């Protein structure tokens, strides 16, 4: 089952490169930058942004992976425990500017959980947010600093991001959701 | 990936493909956890064991953080009800629950209403009425947690019942062995459990997990303390769960990859089973000389508490091959993983298929 495509592989590539430029511009350089991808699809995206920064600036920005499972606010509501994917952070986040990277920004609850997790590791100078797709419908006062594409959606729709590293191909699709899936991601 | 080194193991697998192998490559879609209780490991499938091991990896990462605490079980009450003496298992469960931000209530039966004659069922009902959602219990009677699971509305975790089962110990032993084996696989590895098997719930649970992992399992002890295991080995072989039973410590330990010594359980020892502790130590104690028969990099394990100089020599227990303290550390991570996985099954109707694996 395949929905309507809203981003092609080329569009994802261009958006990733633009995000990398925006991040460096806002930071006025790469000093103290740390890219942290949220499991799962935020992780390859963070690596792609780091590769683009390396190409443009000649600097390797460290990349980490964050699993927010233990910080979800719906653990008592889901029927089965989500499978933990694992966290790997470069040592020491104190005083760094962290760019959280995720594929889709929706309710904001994932980002809330990610920020809770990060502050357990230390005290970053700042936390910023970069997402490939912002689909709206926030339930918390959270906004992204860097957005690949803003996509107006309804709550009955599902935004599906495919990335080569995980899914074998690149693309973003939007489709009508079947009845409420059990244990759906918190978005 | 995992290669079956032992042709007999391959033959056994061919005869009975239903035998779960922990070391099979994990599928792309992990099977979700569906057990409400953890009463023994006999009802756990290969994918269940794999999920426990993978979740334990994540918990090890949590334990390595500057603040080794996550809010996963915030607001849940875990009650620890122990009818038998214990330090490491009880504290390990308590630390595990606290690392997940659960509220922990500790009940030592000796200083509770149990001392006034309250029945197990009434105690469990009382504990539930006081808000417990997860109950960790240890009891000297085999099967007691199964009775508790019938009346308790939440999840029961067996922290050891009589001679029967000690599932979290078997899982932490499995994790510790897999962590140290090249390739993370126990397939074809010679694992020896040495000592007082008769009274050992640790051994009884380990038989399920180690045969599932494809280990070449040997049980060794004096004839009086391996009684009954020959018959189990016969039934197990028929179901593809092969293990060996011997009274010859040299035969068991020779070329072993893992040697696990069991505590001589003086409190359970009836008269006539052993001539004396000194004779036991001389004939079956894990000494440096005996360990020299095993592979040079063989792991030394012990579930604790140890009687040093009886079942294990002090220099072996503290020696370079010993992973006994790793067992304790991994115990916390494994129990965190199990508390986390079981907490997700509340309110669902699923129960543990604890008799599903009763073939062997």
- Asked if A91 is an interface residue toward chain B (Cβ–Cβ < 8 A), one would say no
Residue carrying the six token digits 């939007």: A174
Prediction ipTM score: 0.82
Containing B256, the helix (H) or strand (E) segment is none
How close does chain A come to B65, measured CA to CA in Å?
7
Q: What is the C-alpha to C-alpha distance for residues B206 and B177, in angstroms, rounded to an integer?
A: 12
Containing B343, the helix (H) or strand (E) segment is helix B324-343
Residue B300 tokens read as 């030394």
Q: What is the C-alpha to C-alpha distance for residues B284 and B291, in angstroms, rounded to an integer?
A: 11
B67/A120 CB distance under 8 A: yes
C-beta of residue A37 within 8 angstroms of C-beta of residue A47: yes
- Asked if B152 is an interface residue toward chain A (Cβ–Cβ < 8 A), one would say no
Q: pLDDT tens digits for B103-161?
A: 999 998 877 777 788 899 999 999 999 999 999 999 999 999 999 999 999 999 999 99
Residue numbers in B near A121 (CB within 8 A): 65-67
Residue numbers in A near B341 (CB within 8 A): 81
pLDDT at B22: 40
How far is C-alpha B59 from the chain's CA centre?
18
- Minimum mean pLDDT among A123-132, B142-151, B222-231: which range? B222-231
**For residue A70, is the peptide bond before it cis, meaning its omega torsion is within 30 degrees of 0?**
no
Q: How confident is the model at residue A74 (pLDDT cuts 50, 70, 90)?
A: confident
- Asked if A75 is an interface residue toward chain B (Cβ–Cβ < 8 A), one would say yes
Closest CA to B190 of B133, B242, B268, B262: B242
Domain locations in chain A? 9-153
DSSP B312: B
Q: What is the C-alpha to C-alpha distance for residues B200 and A7, in angstroms, rounded to an integer?
A: 61
pLDDT at B109: 81
- Asked if B100 is an interface residue toward chain A (Cβ–Cβ < 8 A), one would say yes
Mutation target vs A (from B65, B134, B333; most A CBs, 10 A cutoff): B65
B344/A83 CB distance under 8 A: no
Question: What angle is formed at CA A45 by the lines to CA A40 and CA A49, rounded to 5 degrees?
Answer: 155
Residue B273, helix vs strand vs coil: coil
C-beta of residue A110 within 8 angstroms of C-beta of residue A187: yes
Instruction: Give contacts of B 25-84 with A, CB under 8 A.
Output: 30, 32-34, 51, 54-55, 57-58, 61-62, 65-67, 69-73, 75-76
| pLDDT at position B207 over 80 | yes
pLDDT at A179: 63
Q: What is the C-alpha to C-alpha distance for residues A125 and A74, in angstroms, rounded to an integer?
A: 29
Residue ranges of E strands in B187-302: 190-194, 216-220, 243-246, 258-261, 299-301
Of B65, B76, B341, the CB nearest to A121: B65
C-beta of residue B72 within 8 angstroms of C-beta of residue B45: no
Q: pLDDT tens digits for B162-179?
A: 999 999 999 999 999 999
B75/A76 CB distance under 8 A: yes
Q: What is the C-alpha to C-alpha distance for residues B38 and B255, in angstroms, rounded to an integer?
A: 34
Residue numbers in B near A79 (CB within 8 A): 344-345, 347-348
Domains contained in chain B, CATH given: 18-23+30-166+330-343 (3.40.50.1370), 167-324 (3.40.50.1370)
- Asked if A150 is an interface residue toward chain B (Cβ–Cβ < 8 A), one would say no
Overall average pLDDT of the A102-114 stretch: 96
| pLDDT at position B20 over 60 | no
Give me the half-sphere count of Cα atoms (radius 13 Å) on the Cβ side of residue B88.
17
Of A67, A71, A85, the CB nearest to B71: A71
Residue B162, helix vs strand vs coil: coil
Beta bridge partners of A34: A98
Average pLDDT along chain B: 87
Beta bridge partners of A65: A37, A88
Residue B323, helix vs strand vs coil: coil
pLDDT at B130: 96
| pLDDT at position B223 over 60 | yes
Beta-sheet pairing, A4-7 with A171-176: antiparallel
Residue B69, helix vs strand vs coil: coil
How close does chain B come to A23, measured CA to CA in Å?
28
Instruction: Tell me how far CA of residue B158 lies from CA of B142, B208, B292, B343, B360, in angstroms.
Output: 11, 16, 36, 15, 21
Q: Backbone phi, then psi, for B207, in 5-degree steps?
A: -60, -40
DSSP B26: P
Of A67, A78, A122, the CB nearest to B58: A67
Q: pLDDT tens digits for A31-73?
A: 999 999 999 999 999 999 999 999 999 999 999 999 999 998 8
pLDDT at B237: 78
Instruction: Tell me how far CA of residue B358 lies from CA of B11, B41, B141, B215, B259, in angstroms.
Output: 22, 11, 20, 20, 27
Beta bridge partners of A172: A7, A161
Domain A9-153 has CATH 3.30.470.10: no
Q: Residues for chain A: how many in total?
A: 187
Q: pLDDT tens digits for B288-324?
A: 999 999 999 999 999 999 999 999 999 999 999 999 9
Q: What is the C-alpha to C-alpha distance for residues B93 and B113, in angstroms, rounded to an integer?
A: 22
3-state helix/strand/coil string of chain A: CCCEEEECHHHHHHHHHHHHHHHHHHHCCCCCEEEEEECCCHHHHHHHHHHHHHHHHCCCCCEEEECCHHHCCCCCCCCCCCCCCCCECCCCCCCCEEEEEEEEECCCHHHHHHHHHHHCCCCCCEEEEEEEEECCCCCCCCCCCEEEEECCCCCCEEEEEECHHHHCCCEEEEEECCCCCCCCCCC
- Sign, CA torsion B181/B25/A185/A51: positive
């Amino acid at each position: 089952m395949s929905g309507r495509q809203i981003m092609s592989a080329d569009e994802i590539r261009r958006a990733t490169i633009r995000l990398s430029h925006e991040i460096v511009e806002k930071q006025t350089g790469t000093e103290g930058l740390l890219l942290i991808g949220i499991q799962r699809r935020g992780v390859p995206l963070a690596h792609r942004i780091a590769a683009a920064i390396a190409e443009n600036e000649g600097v390797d920005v460290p990349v980490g992976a964050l699993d927010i499972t233990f910080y979800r606010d719906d653990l008592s509501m889901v029927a089965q425990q989500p499978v933990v994917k694992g966290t790997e952070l470069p040592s020491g986040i104190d005083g760094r500017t962290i760019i959280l990277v995720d594929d889709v920004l929706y309710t904001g609850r994932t980002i809330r959980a990610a920020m809770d997790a990060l502050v357990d590791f230390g005290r970053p100078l700042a936390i910023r947010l970069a997402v490939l797709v912002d689909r709206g419908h926030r339930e918390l006062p959270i906004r992204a600093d860097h957005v690949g594409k803003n996509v107006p959606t309804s709550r009955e729709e599902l935004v599906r991001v495919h990335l080569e590293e995980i899914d074998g191909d690149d693309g973003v699709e939007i489709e009508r959701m079947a009845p409420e899936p059990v244990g759906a991601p918190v978005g | 990936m995992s290669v079956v080194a032992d042709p007999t193991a391959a033959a056994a697998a061919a005869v009975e493909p239903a035998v779960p192998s922990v070391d099979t490559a994990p599928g792309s879609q992990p099977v979700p956890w569906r057990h409400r209780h953890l009463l023994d490991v006999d009802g756990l499938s290969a994918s269940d064991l794999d999920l426990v091991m993978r979740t334990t990896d994540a918990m090890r990462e949590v334990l390595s953080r500057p603040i080794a605490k996550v809010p996963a079980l915030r607001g849940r009450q875990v009650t620890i009800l122990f009818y038998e003496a214990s330090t490491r298992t009880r504290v390990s469960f308590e630390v595990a629950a606290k690392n997940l931000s659960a509220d922990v209530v500790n009940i030592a039966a000796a200083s509770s209403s149990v001392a006034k004659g309250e029945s197990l069922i009434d105690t469990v009902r009382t504990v539930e009425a006081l808000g417990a959602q997860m109950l960790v219990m240890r009891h000297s009677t085999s099967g007691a947690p199964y009775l508790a699971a019938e009346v308790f509305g939440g999840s029961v975790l067996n922290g050891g019942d009589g001679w029967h089962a000690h599932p979290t110990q078997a899982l932490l032993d499995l994790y510790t062995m897999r962590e140290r084996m090249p390739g993370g696989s126990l397939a074809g590895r010679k694992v020896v459990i040495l000592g007082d098997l008769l009274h050992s719930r640790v051994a009884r649970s380990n038989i399920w997990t180690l045969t599932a992992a494809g280990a070449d399992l040997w049980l060794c002890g004096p004839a009086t303390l391996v009684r009954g295991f020959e018959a189990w080995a016969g039934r197990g072989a028929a179901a593809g769960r092969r293990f060996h039973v011997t009274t010859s410590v040299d035969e068991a330990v020779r070329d072993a990859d893992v040697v696990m010594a069991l505590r001589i359980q003086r409190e359970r020892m009836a008269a006539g089973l052993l001539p004396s502790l000194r004779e036991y130590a001389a004939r079956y104690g894990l000494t440096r000389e005996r360990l020299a028969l095993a592979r040079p990099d063989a792991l030394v394990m012990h579930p604790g508490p140890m009687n040093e100089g009886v079942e294990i020599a002090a220099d072996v227990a503290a020696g370079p091959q010993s992973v006994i303290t790793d067992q304790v550390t991994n115990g916390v991570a494994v129990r965190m993983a199990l508390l986390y996985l079981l907490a997700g099954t509340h309110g669902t109707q699923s129960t543990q298929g604890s008799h599903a694996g009763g073939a062997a």
